Structure 1
Amino acid sequence: MTDTPVAPEGGVPADAPAPPHGQIPPHGQVPGYATPEPSGEAVINTANERMHDGVNRCPKCGATEIQLRVTTGMLICLFCRHEWAETQIEGIVADEVALSDLTGTTVASGAGTIDADAGMLTMKCSGCGAEVVVNTAEATSSRCHWCRHVLTVNQQVPNGAVPDAVLPFSITRDQAVEHIRAFADKRKTFAHRQFISEFTPENVVGVYLPYMVVDGNVSADVHGHGEVQTRRYTRGSGDDKETVYDADVYRVDRSVSFTVDDLTLESSAERADMTAFVNTNNVINTILPFDTKNAVQWNANYLVGYTSERRDQDVEALVPALEHQLLSIARSQVRDSIRRYDRGVRWEAERLTVHGTRWVSMYLPVWLYSFYHEDKGRAMVHYIAVNGRTGETMGSVPVSHGRLALAALASGTVLEGIAVAILAVS
């Protein structure tokens, strides 16, 4: 960590650009992202071996009529009412190696490379021996047409439909409806009349969205220039008057090492698309974080009654997004050490070294309400999302531009009246 003066005191106009800077140290790189260190890839087996035969039985009575009980976060057998939960994925994954010791790329078995053609799966029913075909691109369970056993896809097929872990819903549908209703009620003043008349929060849908949850062992170097103000004064007169700052300019080098634990990255290309002109699905990012430490080993019965989206992004495709977030974390880590530069620091080169990462594929719960709105030939899908664990709610509501204009006009009239009154008094 160094702070080297590179320029003496000198007058700097208030609106002037930063002064020319010296060369970046030899160990610095051109601005941009560094490629993670080349290394081998290790795989952690997260498959739920208890359900290797495809029949997801109640551990107490053997029935297959099972679903999630949201109020407890447990699975419940609809026959004998026994409740249980699968093993937490954190103990399976994190026990392999500590974060600070991570090297190379470690991928959980459900986060492997996607084969888009591996959607059809044939399962042999252990109840009667019949073979049942499941299209995993559309569903993760099916009922045997002979013995009526429910067969669930618990083996990790390579099409991204079966993750390593799932974080169960703990917010009920009724609670989600109330969150969405309260969110919309606060915004009805300027909401479009069509939205108000057609708003039906009961149409909310529970969906499990695919994420990659990443652990990392990282170090970073940032290099740039910072300025410390030494004096401020005015020179010239009339129209030529200008404010001038005197500042000391320093070359600033910072190095930091850190670990990240459970960084969440969207692994659906469609959800990661933040094109605000056609939809508002970026609201998904505003309801983070999720308590991913409580995610459990995959069991398809957690999805009964809900919909899900399968992952379509591999680890390689998500590396740029990961590096971008890691560099943001690195800049945040050094922020306290540059507070003395009251005129700011401009980072000009960054180097990121990813010593090791660990990737786990996970389904996270979201309650989602959508509203299709078309105005002057332009279509937009508005979403209101509720975090299925915390109840955090955010979304988009179509506005009435006429009401906004009237409000602005009314505000201007009121302010003008106040100003006239003040002038009259004075």
Structure 2
Amino acid sequence: MRFSAEKQQLSCSHCGNTQAIPLTRQNLEERSLTSYQVDNHQLPNAPTEEKLVFSCPNCGAQTTINTDEPTITCAFCGTKSVNPDARKTRLIEPAGVLPFKVSKEQAIERFKGWVGDDWLAPSDLKAGARPDNFHGVYVPFWTFDAQAYSEWYGEAGFYYTVAVQVPDGKGGMMRQQEQRVRWEPRNGSHSQFYDDILIMASKQLANQADSVAEASSYNLMDVVDYDPRFLLGWDAEVYSIDLPESARQADTDIRRREEYACSSQLGGNVQRNLNVNTQLSNQTFKHILLPLWICAYVYNGKAYRFLVNGQTGRIAGERPKSAWKIALLIIGFILLVLFFYSIAKK
């Protein structure tokens, strides 16, 4: 049996029998994250699970596998491998999972519609992205919560104008308005609770961070308690960016947001010497798996990857451009310029 995105339950591909999985949210616990654990690379007291992990010989991506899979196709580079003796490893168990809602057929249709929106894309691009190149992967993420309190001080500058006498270039003087800045020292504080700062834990997708961020517009209210049965029939990547490193990313993100908020409080037309001191407390985390369709293939010798959000169907990625279409566009632009130039000469 495998989890069916269409039916939202387990389904047998041979007889059609189905089995429901409870969609509960009772165990989505936030676990405490202390600065000691982060700075010293120590794992917190969180549940772990033993998994069979396959490492792709081509790109190095690590995914969990079932022992009865005869062959494995890497979702990240498309390499096909015979099922090896995968190593066993203990991992922090996910607290939650967002089950796939977009089926493979729906993902392909979304992709074809997206490709068709770009006139400059090659005409045979749709054929290049074959259906067997689409792989549904549960991508690992960390979420972080924290209470932030910031004290700030700085100077806000306000524009004003004064009339000054300046040479008029003819031996005389003339009045002119000159812009100046009036500086006012200010200070204050800002407090905010940050909920579910989402940090991707996949190094394989790190080089496509912008595309992943664009595709990762998930509604986390749909995350349910982790149950390994949701992963039946799907790939699940093992986190390759660990908890301490991800926690530091979240810390940097929160402090950047606090600086922006304090800057907004400082006000003024311009600012200088803004200093923000931020303290974080009640820091917690959880490990979750989010659904993503990945299409990896080579077009004219160059590798491309397209991402389809497994919950919303939103697409992100880079499309190859057709050289002859670009050339046609340039020629058309040149002809248009020559046309208007010839009219202007008449």
Shorter-chain TM-score bucket reads 0.7 to 0.9
- 2:198 corresponds in structure 1 to 264
- CA offset at residue 196 of structure 1? 5.8
Q: How does 1:20-419 map to 2 (within 5 A)?
A: 66-75=1-10, 81-88=18-25, 92-93=28-29, 104=34, 113=43, 135-137=52-54, 138-139=63-64, 141-142=66-67, 158-160=90-92, 162-187=93-118, 189-192=119-122, 195=125, 198-201=128-131, 203-231=133-161, 244-272=178-206, 274=207, 280=208, 282-334=210-262, 336-339=264-267, 341-342=268-269, 344-346=270-272, 348-373=274-299, 380-401=302-323, 403-415=325-337, 417-418=339-340
Closer/same/farther in 2, CA of residues 311 and 85 from structure 1, 3 Å limit: same
**Aligned counterparts of 1:307 and 1:371: Cα–Cα separation in 2:** 18
Normalised by the length of structure 1, the TM-score is 0.60
Question: Match of 2:64, as an amino acid?
Answer: A
**Aligned counterparts of 1:421 and 1:362: Cα–Cα separation in 2:** 64
Question: Match of 1:258, as an amino acid?
Answer: Q
Closer/same/farther in 2, CA of residues 281 and 310 from structure 1, 3 Å limit: same
- 1:57 corresponds in structure 2 to none
Question: Match of 1:87, as an amino acid?
Answer: T
- CA offset at residue 170 of structure 1? 0.8
Closer/same/farther in 2, CA of residues 225 and 401 from structure 1, 3 Å limit: farther
**What SS class does the counterpart of residue 276 from structure 2 fall into?**
strand
**Higher percent of residues as strand:** 2
**Aligned counterparts of 2:36 and 2:290: Cα–Cα separation in 1:** 21
- CA offset at residue 231 of structure 1? 2.0
Closer/same/farther in 2, CA of residues 421 and 312 from structure 1, 3 Å limit: same
Question: Match of 1:290, as an amino acid?
Answer: Y
Question: Match of 2:114, as an amino acid?
Answer: F
> Given that residues 218 and 355 in structure 1 are in contact (C-alpha distance below 8 angstroms), is that contact kept between their aligned partners in structure 2?
yes
- CA offset at residue 203 of structure 1? 2.5
**Aligned counterparts of 1:80 and 1:406: Cα–Cα separation in 2:** 55
Normalised by the length of structure 2, the TM-score is 0.73
Structure 2: gaps spanning 5 or more residues? 55-62, 69-87, 170-175
> Given that residues 144 and 247 in structure 2 are in contact (C-alpha distance below 8 angstroms), is that contact kept between their aligned partners in structure 1?
no
Q: Deviations over 1:362-403 (max 9, x none)?
A: 11000111233456xxxx532211111111111101224554
**Aligned counterparts of 2:199 and 2:293: Cα–Cα separation in 1:** 18
- CA offset at residue 79 of structure 1? 8.2
**What SS class does the counterpart of residue 138 from structure 2 fall into?**
strand
- CA offset at residue 169 of structure 1? 0.5
Closer/same/farther in 2, CA of residues 236 and 402 from structure 1, 3 Å limit: farther
Structure 1: gaps spanning 5 or more residues? 1-65, 97-101, 122-133, 144-155, 275-279
**What SS class does the counterpart of residue 225 from structure 1 fall into?**
strand
**Aligned counterparts of 1:244 and 1:141: Cα–Cα separation in 2:** 74
> Given that residues 153 and 186 in structure 2 are in contact (C-alpha distance below 8 angstroms), is that contact kept between their aligned partners in structure 1?
yes
